[in-house]
Amino acid sequence: MSARILVAEDDEKQSRLIRIYLEREGNAVQVVADGRAALDRARSSKPDLIVLDVMLPLVDGLDVCRILRTESDVPILLLTARTTEEDMLLGLDLGADDYLTKPYSPRELTARVRALLRRSGKSGGAPESAVLRVGEMELDTARFEVRVAGQPVTLTAKEFSILEALAREPGRVFTRRQIIERVFGYDRDVLERTVDAHVMNLRRKLEADPARPRLLETVYGRGYRLADAVDSARP
Task: Please state which of the ranges 62-66, 93-97, 193-197, 228-232 shows the lowest mean pLDDT.
Answer: 228-232
Q: What is the pLDDT of residue 161?
A: 87
In tens, the pLDDT along 12-42 reads 999 999 999 999 888 899 999 999 999 999 9
In tens, the pLDDT along 141-190 reads 777 889 998 899 999 888 988 998 898 888 889 999 888 877 765 445 66
* DSSP codes, 47-72: -SEEEEESS-SSS-HHHHHHHHHHH-
pTM for this model (two decimals)? 0.58
In tens, the pLDDT along 114-142 reads 888 887 776 654 444 468 888 889 988 77
